[in-house]
Amino acid sequence: MGRPLYRIVMLLGLGCYLAGAGALSAMAGNLPPKVNWMLNCQGCHKPDASGVVGEVPSMNGYVAKFLSVEGGRDYLARVPGVAFSPLSDQQTAELLNWMLATYDPDNLPQDFKPYSGEEVHRLRQSPLMTEAAEYRAQLMEKLDLQ
């Protein structure tokens, strides 16, 4: 293959690659919460939200209980995996709402107000860093007192 033809083939290949990457990027903004869970959360929290004992908290049958204690709602959007997620604020809000309804519907308060993108944006401004485990332990104590 001559140099000019090689360059044309390479440029066409690069163009196809970039067009495909752009399409995937645009599509990623429209994924349903379940798919975002699979791509961003279940690697650590497991497909059924059971977590890993001693390492990754279980959420199955428990996560909505945080909504019943002061600071619990904020906590769910401020943990590092949520606060630093590559998802947009709106996608993150949709994922949190889906997660609560999917993995702990029995403990979801009757007056539950779904997270909004604006709320998630505000909460992400003060992420929990090294204090996340301690903050969670304090919330767990409050839950045990109920």
The burial of 30, by beta-carbon neighbours within 10 Å (0-12 exposed, 13-18 middle, 19 or more buried), is given as exposed
Is the pLDDT score of 27 beyond 90?
Answer: no
Q: Are 51 and 79 in contact (CB under 8 A)?
A: no
Q: What is the pLDDT of residue 144?
A: 84
Q: What is the pLDDT of residues 120-135, one digit of tens each?
A: 999 999 999 889 999 9
* Residues paired with 56 in a beta bridge: 52
Q: How does pLDDT run across 70-93, given as a tens digit for each residue?
A: 999 999 999 999 999 999 999 999
Backbone dihedral region of 108: left (phi > 0), alpha (psi from -120 to 50 degrees) or beta? Answer: beta
In this prediction, residue 11 has a pLDDT band, given cuts at 50, 70 and 90, of: low
pLDDT band at 7 (very low <50, low <70, confident <90, very high): low
pLDDT digits (tens, 9 = 90+) for 29-74: 689 999 999 999 999 999 999 999 988 988 999 999 999 999 999 9
Using CB atoms within 10 A of its CB, is residue 1 exposed (0-12), middle (13-18) or buried (19+)?
A: exposed
Per-residue pLDDT band for 28 (boundaries 50, 70, 90) equals: low
Say whether pLDDT at 26 is over 80. Answer: no
pTM of the complete model: 0.78
Higher local confidence (pLDDT), 38 or 146 = 38
Residue 18 has pLDDT above 70, yes or no: no
Strand partners, 52: 56
